[in-house]
Amino acid sequence: MKEKFPTSWLLVLTIVWMSVAIYMDFLYAPEEETMGQVQRIFYVHVPCAWTALMGFIIIFCASILYLWKRSPAADELAHATGEVGFIFCSGVLITGPLWAKPAWGIWWTWSPRLTLTFLLWLLYVAYLMLRSYLVNPGRAANLCAVVGIIGFADVIIDYMAIRWWRTQHPQPVIMGGPNSGLDPRMLLTLLVSWGAFTCLFFLLLRMRLRLGRMRKELSEIRHVLAFKLSED
C-alpha cells in the first residue's frame, strides 16, 4: 500500500472528494420534507457507520493474517485500524442523538443501526483497552488477534440477532431504515459521502501507520543508545 499509492495523492483525493461530498450534502441534496435541514446529518451518520463496520472487518482479516503468518505488519494494521475505526464509530453515536432529537424529539432509540453500532463501539473499546492494559507487550499481538476474531464473529451474530429481535419486538422505523424510500439525488449524495468518508478513513489509517512506524524507530534508537551507554 505504501509504494503503490503515495500518501500525498491520498491526501489530495480525500480533500477533493470530501469537498464534493460537502457540497452535495448541503446544496445538491434536496431538503427532506418532514425533518428539514437537520436530516443532512444522515450523510455523515450512515457513512460513519459503514466505515466503522469496514474497520472491524479489516481488524478481523489482519488478526487472521497475523495468527497465520505471524507478520508484525498485520498486527500494526490491526492496531491502527482499531484506533481509527473507533473514531468513526464514535462519530455515529454522536451524530445519532444530534439528528434524532430535533427530528423526532427523542435522544436515542435502539434502532438496528444504532444497536449494531453501539455494540461495535463496545468491541472497539474492549480492543483498545486490551492494547493499553497489557503488561507484557510481547503478547499483545496474539491476544488482540484472538479478540479481533471472536469480536468479528460477534459482529455477525449481532447483525443476525438484531434482525431477529426486531421481528419479535417491532419498532417504528426511523432514522432512515433500510427500506425507506430515498430520492435518487439523496441516494447519490449518500454514496458520494460514503466514498469521501472511506477515503478519509484510509488517509487517517495511513497517517496512523506512519506514526506507529516512527514510534518503533524511536524506540529502537533509544535501545541502541542505552546499550551503547551501558557498554562504556
Partner 1 sequence: MHPQDQITKPVLEVRNVTKFFGDLAALKEVSLAITRGESALLYGPNGAGKTTLLRMLASLARPSSGEILFDGRNIERDGTQAKAAIGFVSHATFLYGELTVRENLKFFGSLFGLSNLEKRIDTALDLFHMRSRSNVFARDLSRGLQQRTSLARAFLHEPDIVILDEPFTGLDSESVKNLESLMLRLPEQGKALLFSTHDFDQGAALARRLIVLRAGRVRYNGPLAGAPLDDLGIVRSAERVTDE
Partner 2 sequence: MSSLKIIWNVFAKDLRVEWRNRETLASMCVFGLLIVFLFNFAFETAHEENLRLLPAILWVAIAFAGVLGFNRSFASERENACLEGMTLAPVDPSMIFVGKMLANLFFLGIAEVVMGFAAALWFNVSFLPALGELILIAFFGTLGYAALGTIFGAIAANTRMREVMLTVLQFPIAFWILMLSIDATGNAMRGDPNGDWLGGVARVAGISLVFLVASFLLFEYVLEE
Binding site for partner 2 (CB under 8 A): 67, 119, 122-123, 125-126, 129-130, 133-136, 138-139, 142-143, 145-147, 149-151, 153-154, 157-158, 161, 164-165, 168
Would you count residue 140 as binding partner 1 (CB under 8 A)? Answer: yes
Here the cell at position 69 is 503468518
| Residue linked to cell 444530534 | 98
Per DSSP, the three-state class of 32 is strand
Would you count residue 137 as binding partner 1 (CB under 8 A)? Answer: yes
Burial class (CB in 10 A: 0-12, 13-18, 19+), 146: middle
Among 156, 187, 223, 225, binds partner 1 (CB under 8 A): 223
Q: State the nearest-atom distance from the C-beta of 140 to partner 1, in Å.
A: 7
Give the whole-angstrom CA distance, residue 80 versus residue 59.
9
Would you count residue 37 as binding partner 1 (CB under 8 A)? Answer: no
Spatial CB neighbours of 96, under 8 Å, sequence gap ≥ 6: 45, 108, 114, 117, 175
Helix 184-231 × helix 42-69 angle, to 10°: 40
Q: State the nearest-atom distance from the C-beta of 231 to partner 1, in Å.
A: 8
Spatial CB neighbours of 135, under 8 Å, sequence gap ≥ 6: none
Among 105, 138, 170, 184, binds partner 1 (CB under 8 A): 138
Q: State the nearest-atom distance from the C-beta of 9 to partner 1, in Å.
A: 31
- Taking CB within 5 to 8 Å according to partner kind, which of partner 2, partner 1, none is near residue 123? partner 2
Would you count residue 167 as binding partner 1 (CB under 8 A)? Answer: no
Residue among 134 and 188 whose Cβ is closer to partner 2:
134
Check if the beta carbon of residue 25 is closer than 8 Å to that of residue 43.
Answer: yes
Give the whole-angstrom CA distance, residue 175 versus residue 10.
32
Residue among 28 and 165 whose Cβ is closer to partner 2:
165
Residues that bind partner 1 (CB under 8 A): 136-138, 140, 216, 219-220, 223, 227, 230
